[in-house]
Structure 1
Amino acid sequence: MSPAETIVEAQWAAERQGSYRFLTDQSMYSLFRRRPEGAVFPTAQRHGMGVLTFSPLNGGRLSGRADVSRGHRASSRPALYDPATPAGRLKAAALEQLTALADEAGLRLPQLAIAFALAHPTVTSVLIGPRTAEQLDGLLDGAGTTLTDDVLDRIDAIVPPGTDLNPEDNYAATPPPLEDARLRRR
């Protein structure tokens, strides 16, 4: 995900140089990672850009294959999913509510997660990233799923728009100058 200001700068630079402007952004976006809704998606819309999102299952967290409330992990990055951490507890609580919502809507959790990402008007495509043919078949079963406004409103109540349950999930969440003191000192 490019910060919104970087998108604007790239568009201005392309215009000044008379070159092709950027036509798409690629953002990590899921039920647990909704930060792009705050600035990136509106900026992309203003500039007529498409948005290709990835990780709609939040690194496997929304795959429905792990019981995170008991500490089982669906990710290779265990520290991010530890139910003993505040972020882990937030995710476990949200996961429980989202799983119940998916059941009520007659969906499996991965179907809800992908349909959610596709429901945003700025999102033009979602990279799903299955690892097996069985996973692909399961995800494709829900390809035509459209969520009702009621379901989307309930998702907003569980995970508010524009928020991240754990900002560390996004490998590019922290700009380099914030991590490396040498980049912010003379």
Structure 2
Amino acid sequence: MRYRVLGRTGIEVSVHCLGAMMFGAVGDADHDDCVRTIHAALDQGVNFVDTADMYSAGEPEEIVGKALQGRRDDVVLATKVHFQMGEGRNRSGNSRRWIASEEARGLPAMDLSAGRAALHPARFDPAAPANAAKYEAVEQLVELADGIGCSLPELAVAFAAEHPAVTSVIIGPRTMAQLESLLKGASLTLDDAALDRIDEIVPPGTNVYHPDGVWRSPYLTDAAHLRRPLAQGSAG
């Protein structure tokens, strides 16, 4: 596992950050399975965990709390707040009161038993022009990944990790198998030829799928910010 300093904090975190969104009702409802997955990530060198109060009404935070008993000092733990978590005032936002609240729970878990395609069918309709462009890009990226000898998820994580503005890439496995697949590529680095090919498929600063576009970062449009210095690319 590679490590980098998080911003200007002086704190070293793993290049892979374990995202907890898929632990609990929205993903794996078996808490013991989730704890085993978290422990496996920690045992393989991950020391950075990310969650949020709105994930499954706070259930992943509870699961992470169980998993980190006796190991809390070894982990950099991040969580996110802001969105409404129930009826009434002051049950959202970024106030110290809300962030410190231990009872910031209450949203019913969303029923995802039908799958994402059933919940948002327009996003998966291959006849829609926006979706067609997305699928075409994915097929080209799969071809590139096959040529490198890695899976598409491994390529995606390695690509994000190569960006100079990125300290740690959040991975969100639901199962142990997904975790192992993602961490298998922890040492994968991409050369300029691979990065150039990705830029050809999806030019920097463009969004192939506009419904997901919320904010355009200047670090995706300025060529000077797109590559990590060669010495840092492999060393991390």
TM-score (norm 1): 0.51
**One-letter amino acid matched to 2:209:** N
Q: Secondary structure at the match of 2:168?
A: strand
Q: Residues 87 and 166 of structure 1 are in contact (CA less than 8 Å); yes or no, is this contact kept in structure 2?
A: yes
The residue number in structure 1 matching 2:150 is 107
Tell me by how many angstroms 1:153 deviates.
0.2
Between the aligned partners of 1:153 and 1:167, the Cα distance in structure 2 is 22
CA deviation digits over 1:96-149, x for unaligned, max 9?
110000000111111100000001011011111111111000000001110010
In structure 2, list runs of 5 or more residues that go unmatched. Answer: 1-7, 10-49, 51-114, 217-236
Between the aligned partners of 2:182 and 2:208, the Cα distance in structure 1 is 24
Aligned positions of 1:9-20 closer than 5 A:
none
**One-letter amino acid matched to 1:77:** H
The residue number in structure 1 matching 2:161 is 118
Aligned equivalent of 1:150, options 183, 193, 197: 193
Classify 1:74/1:157 alpha carbon distance in 2 versus 1 (closer, same or farther; 3 Å). Answer: farther
CA deviation digits over 1:147-180, x for unaligned, max 9?
010000000000000111112124x459xxxxxx
Q: Does 1:167 align with 2:210?
A: yes
**One-letter amino acid matched to 1:126:** V
Aligned positions of 1:2-81 closer than 5 A:
77-81=120-124
Between the aligned partners of 1:77 and 1:173, the Cα distance in structure 2 is 21
The residue number in structure 2 matching 1:91 is 134
Between the aligned partners of 2:151 and 2:173, the Cα distance in structure 1 is 15
Q: Residues 81 and 87 of structure 1 are in contact (CA less than 8 Å); yes or no, is this contact kept in structure 2?
A: no
Q: Secondary structure at the match of 2:127?
A: coil
**One-letter amino acid matched to 2:155:** L
Number of aligned pairs?
104
Between the aligned partners of 2:215 and 2:166, the Cα distance in structure 1 is 19
Q: Which runs of 4+ in 1 moved over 6 A?
A: none
TM-score (norm 2): 0.40
Between the aligned partners of 2:180 and 2:116, the Cα distance in structure 1 is 19
Aligned equivalent of 2:181, options 135, 138, 154: 138
**One-letter amino acid matched to 1:145:** L
Between the aligned partners of 1:92 and 1:74, the Cα distance in structure 2 is 16
